[in-house]
Amino acid sequence: MNKPVICFDFDGTLVNEQGVIHPRDVEILHSEDRAVFIPATGRPLHAVKHAFQRNGLFLGRPIPLPMVLQNGAVVYYPDEVLHRYVPFSPAEQAKLLEISRRHRQICGLLFGVNRVEIMWPNPAGLKMVKRFDLDAQPFNETTDHYTKLTYISDSPQAMAEFLTEIEPMPLEKFFSLPTVLELTKPGIDKGRMLIGLLTDLGLQTSQIIAAGDGENDLPMFEVADVSFCPDNSPASIKHHADAEVNIAETGLLAPILARMDFSRRAAGSPAKIR
């Protein structure tokens, strides 16, 4: 029987606003072997490494976990081996950049596999760059193959006008925070890409436990057998979760492990797929 899989969001779930991972979670990620742990986050690889290393994890070596990054647009096997990435098509990217140029009050973070660029920096955008540990470079007109685009504005009107322009485009659109809009190609989200990764790893019969606190985590909830959210998550997220966790008090992973049934799924039982 395969080990169960615990797939977790980063910011607001494993990592708090100060970039700190609860000491119990650090200990579990360092030594627990009853489950397969998979970070599933909007962050790129370098930002995940920054957060882990700041908390004393995986120092001086590749991250030994499979990962679903950039909301599923970039997927890794253990030890940071690139498994799959899905960029926007040239036409999609050109259209999104054209719209972005008309909305200079909205900061754009443009993600590639190994690079993040910032377009129209504003205080809200620079705050997110710091919070998410991003090594952001100035927007480069010649860069191609963006995999995820993130837009940040403190102005609801500006964001609404931007949304109106991109609404006709068939994209995955999620608000990971009320002021942070994330875009990936159609069909690219944490849930679908997690199922694909588990299949390729031979873990398709594993019990799936998901944890997150944002809209971009809901596709992951939909493919999970059990879902958790922090107890300070928005009501819309709590509505979809099976249980809540007091992250500040207990950390994320210890209460999940305590409530898991490690013999729940027999080999050959299919994962739930929407």
94 and 179 in a common domain: yes
Parallel, antiparallel, or unpaired: how do β-strands 148-152 and 5-8 relate?
unpaired
81 and 140 in a common domain: no
> Which residues make Cβ contacts (< 8 Å) with residue 257, sequence separation at least 6?
6, 28, 32, 34, 35
Residue 271 belongs to a domain: no
User: What's the pLDDT tens digit per position in 53-102?
Assistant: 999 999 999 999 999 999 999 999 999 999 999 999 999 999 999 999 99
Contact 36, 66 (CB under 8 A): yes
> Which residues make Cβ contacts (< 8 Å) with residue 233, sequence separation at least 6?
12, 213, 241, 244
134 and 171 in a common domain: yes
Structure tokens at 61: 């070596």
69 and 11 in a common domain: yes
Of the candidates 146, 161, 184, which is a domain's last residue?
Answer: 184
213 and 77 in a common domain: yes
179 and 97 in a common domain: yes
User: What's the pLDDT tens digit per position in 5-41?
Assistant: 999 999 999 999 999 999 999 999 999 999 999 999 9
pLDDT of residue 179: 84
47 and 112 in a common domain: no
- Number of structural domains (the chain) is 2
User: What's the pLDDT tens digit per position in 157-195?
Assistant: 999 999 999 999 999 999 877 789 999 999 999 999 999
pLDDT of residue 273: 36
Contact 117, 125 (CB under 8 A): no
Q: What is the CATH number of the domain that holds 35?
A: 3.40.50.1000
Q: How far apart, in whole angstroms, are the C-alpha atoms of residue 92 and residue 170?
A: 9
